[in-house]
């Protein structure tokens, strides 16, 4: 199974002050690697970590250790990403979210690791719910 990781879980993995840190630490130990993500997700995570006083360097360390890997090329997926963002403009959908929805379309046997409830709204392949892994609230 392919695991696709969103911004929130990456931040929670690095920032021990987040509520989700213990849950995400356990997930990171148990899930198969690499976790697929996108450059917009890493950009968001780096911004949030830096804003909260953490070094974004930890994201580079995760990539170098093979924990995370970029799974999508913007130039190759531009048209489907644009369509997704148009479809969900009322949510609104970020580019980071669009890349993860698209990754879920490209990898049939996947699960999206997220803290973002908008993923319950999004659909892959027009009408299919996206398999999600989220902490219980």
pLDDT digits (tens, 9 = 90+) for 15-34: 999 999 999 999 999 999 99
Could you give the angle at the alpha carbon of 92 between the alpha carbons of 21 and 24, nearest 5°?
A: 10
What average pLDDT is seen over the chain? 96
The yes-or-no verdict on residue 137 having pLDDT over 80 is no
Q: What is the pTM of this model?
A: 0.96
Gyration radius of the chain over CA positions: 14
Structure tokens at 13: 């993995």
* CATH value at residue 45: 3.40.50.1010
Mean pLDDT (whole number) for 3-25: 97
Task: Give the domain range for residue 97.
Answer: 2-133
Cβ contacts of 52 within 8 Å, gap of 6 or more: 11, 15, 17
Categorize the per-residue pLDDT at 136 as very low, low, confident or very high, splitting at 50, 70 and 90: confident
Beta-carbon neighbour count of residue 38 at 10 Å?
A: 27
Q: For the chain, how many structural domains are there in total?
A: 1
Cα separation values, 76 from 49, 61, 79, 99, Å: 29, 26, 8, 11
């Amino acid at each position: 199974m392919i695991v696709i990781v969103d911004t929130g879980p990456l931040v929670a993995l690095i920032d021990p002050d987040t509520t989700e840190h213990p849950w995400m630490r356990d997930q990171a130990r148990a899930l198969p690697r690499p976790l697929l993500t996108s450059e917009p997700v890493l950009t968001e995570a780096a911004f949030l970590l830096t804003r909260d006083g953490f070094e974004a360097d930890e994201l580079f360390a995760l990539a170098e250790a093979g924990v995370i890997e970029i799974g999508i090329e913007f130039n190759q997926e531009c048209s489907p990403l644009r369509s997704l963002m148009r479809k969900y403009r009322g949510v609104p959908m970020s580019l980071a979210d669009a890349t993860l929805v698209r990754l879920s379309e490209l990898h049939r046997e996947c699960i999206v690791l997220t803290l973002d409830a908008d993923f319950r709204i999004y659909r892959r392949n027009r009408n299919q719910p996206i398999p999600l892994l989220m902490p219980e609230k």
